[in-house]
């Protein structure tokens, strides 16, 4: 049976999807976002817990009483799409056990998404930038992989919660956020938009890993400064659900 490599597990997460959730952080990410606060998840060969889907889902089932009607399990990373067989099997087993499944991804996977999306209830989609040049500037990679994942998610009609990290000098300001708004209006099934203010909580990890921090000297953002734009994007970019 396939095995997966897990960086860590958060048993009672409250910010990665609806309700109370267990968040499974998979090891490995091919992107290099300049603001990444989890560089310790990058190296797919770094020491990690190796588990089978059955072992992992047995652990997740212990927390099921806490999930209630709205919670569940979120697979995050790193980039969970880089372990597609393991991820698909875990999602399938969670679904079979009646657990709501959420995928927290930057959409930079390997291109085979059918088995994954077949068992995904909700995607937390990390939109790094809305145009290819900006994407390359922030991430150092081509936007093509993201576009392919988004097309697959749209074809599978999976609801989306969009997240976008706002970084001073990189992805902030009226012009940028207006561009983001126009882009998000081309995407269907968005239920929520979360603008995430840049913070510096992961900087110490770079020092520990001996990696230069790309955004040295950039000050954290005041979350209150994004309140207006958060409200606006949730008004102008989300599909109305009945009863909402």
Binding residues for ligand SF4, rule: CB under 6 A, are 29, 31-33, 36, 38, 41, 77-79, 106
Return the structure tokens found at 234: 């949730």
In the complex, minimum distance from the CB of residue 121 to ligand SF4, in angstroms, rounded to a whole number: 21
Nearer to ligand SF4 (CB atom), residue 31 or residue 87:
31
Cross-strand pairs, 6: 26, 49
Q: Which is nearer to ligand SF4, 32 or 232 (CB)?
A: 32
Cα separations in angstroms, 28 against 47, 94, 117, 122, 208: 11, 22, 20, 22, 18
Smallest gap from residue 224 Cβ to ligand SF4 (A)? 23
Q: Which is closer to ligand SF4, CB of 78 or CB of 84?
A: 78
Q: What minimum distance in Å lies between the beta carbon of 105 and ligand SF4?
A: 8
Q: Which is nearer to ligand SF4, 5 or 93 (CB)?
A: 5
Beta carbon of residue 144, minimum distance to ligand SF4 (angstroms, whole number): 15
Please, what is the minimum distance in Å from the beta carbon of residue 174 to ligand SF4?
24
Closer CB to ligand SF4, 71 or 78, in the complex = 78
Is 33 or 103 the residue whose CB approaches ligand SF4 more closely? 33
Q: What are phi and psi of 154, to 5 degrees?
A: -65, -40
Q: Which among 145, 146, 141, 101 is positioned nearest to 121, based on CA atoms? A: 101
Nearest distance from C-beta of residue 7 to ligand SF4, angstroms: 10
């Amino acid at each position: 049976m396939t095995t997966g490599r897990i960086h860590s597990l958060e048993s009672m997460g409250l910010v990665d999807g609806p309700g109370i959730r267990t968040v499974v952080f998979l090891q490995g990410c091919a992107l290099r976002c300049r603001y990444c606060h989890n560089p310790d998840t990058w190296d797919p060969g770094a020491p990690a817990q190796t588990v089978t889907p059955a072992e992992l889902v047995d652990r997740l089932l212990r927390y099921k009483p806490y999930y209630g009607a709205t919670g569940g399990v979120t697979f995050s990373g790193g980039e969970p799409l880089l372990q597609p067989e393991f991820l698909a099997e875990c999602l399938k087993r969670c679904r079979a056990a009646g657990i709501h499944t959420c995928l927290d991804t930057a959409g930079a996977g390997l291109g085979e998404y059918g088995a994954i999306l077949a068992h995904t209830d909700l995607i937390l989609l990390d939109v790094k930038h809305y145009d290819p040049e900006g994407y390359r500037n922030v991430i150092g990679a081509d936007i093509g992989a993201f576009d392919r994942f988004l097309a697959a998610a749209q074809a599978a009609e999976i609801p989306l919660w969009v997240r976008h990290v706002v970084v001073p000098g990189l992805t902030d300001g009226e012009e940028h956020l207006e561009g983001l708004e126009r882009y998000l209006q081309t995407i269907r099934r968005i239920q929520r938009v979360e603008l995430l203010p840049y913070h510096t909580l992961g900087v110490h990890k770079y020092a520990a890993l001996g990696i230069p921090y790309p955004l040295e000297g950039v000050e954290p953002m005041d979350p209150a400064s994004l309140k207006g734009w958060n409200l606006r994007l949730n008004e102008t970019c989300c599909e109305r659900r009945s009863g909402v």
